[in-house]
Amino acid sequence: MTMRKKELFQEVIARFEEAMPIAETELHYNNPFELLVAVTLSAQCTDKRVNMTTPALFAAYPDAQSMAQATPEDIYAYIKSISYPNNKAKHLAGMARKLMADFGGVVPETLEELTTLPGVGRKTANVIQSVVWGKAAMAVDTHVFRVSHRIGLVPKRCTTPYSVEMELMKYLPQDVVPKAHHWLILHGRYVCMARTPKCQECVLKGICKTEKKGE
């Protein structure tokens, strides 16, 4: 069973590598602080909407120091078109203040430090570690969760994002993890959608556990 699982991972990696040799975040950012803000805003919101919102926000608050001086109400004015703007405005204001107080305005590198920031959970921290520093950190969002189960990379008993993360990390080579995170997200976003997966044009045809036959 373990051997079959290992072979499935190897085949999935090989196919994604050929189909998506370049796989990276679709969020627009210029530095770790901007990425942290963008990822915070992207929770239950599309990257497209976030990218429409952040230019004006970043122009007003280009770093932790400037954002730390803003009130949640100030920030809200820039992000009101984003989902859950009230909570996210509070998180961003608190996050910027914590960055200034505890980290000199610099985004920290470790999971333990990142998750001390308001609004930053394990998923967001893993994105920052992976994208900014290329660490072997697997952020499990709804796309990663869904696609991993559908393909058969994780068993049904993995019912939480954390359990999916741990299962994927067992089989993914460390140097592949950062790219694999984006492979699964982009695949879920554009091919293996929740309601209407495009199975007939999927690069994983023939090896996907829940592949739909025909259209």
Among residues 98, 123, 135, 156, which one is catalytic?
Answer: 123
Question: Cα–Cα distance between 140 and 113 in angstroms, integer?
Answer: 19
Q: Is 212 a catalytic residue?
A: no
* Active-site residue identified among 141, 179, 212, 213: 141
3 state SS for the chain: CHHHHHHHHHHHHHHHHHHCCCCCCCCCCCCHHHHHHHHHHHCCCCHHHHHHHHHHHHHHCCCHHHHHCCCHHHHHHHHCCCCCHHHHHHHHHHHHHHHHHHHCCCCCCCHHHHCCCCCCCHHHHHHHHHHHHCCCCCCCCHHHHHHHHHHCCCCCCCCCHHHHHHHHHHHCCCCCHHHHHHHHHHHHHHCCCCCCCCHHHCCCCCCCCCCCCCC
Answer yes or no: 141 catalytic. yes
Non-local (6+) Cβ contacts of 170 within 8 A are none
* Rounded Cα gap, residues 161 and 127, in angstroms: 14
Residues carrying an active site annotation:
123, 141
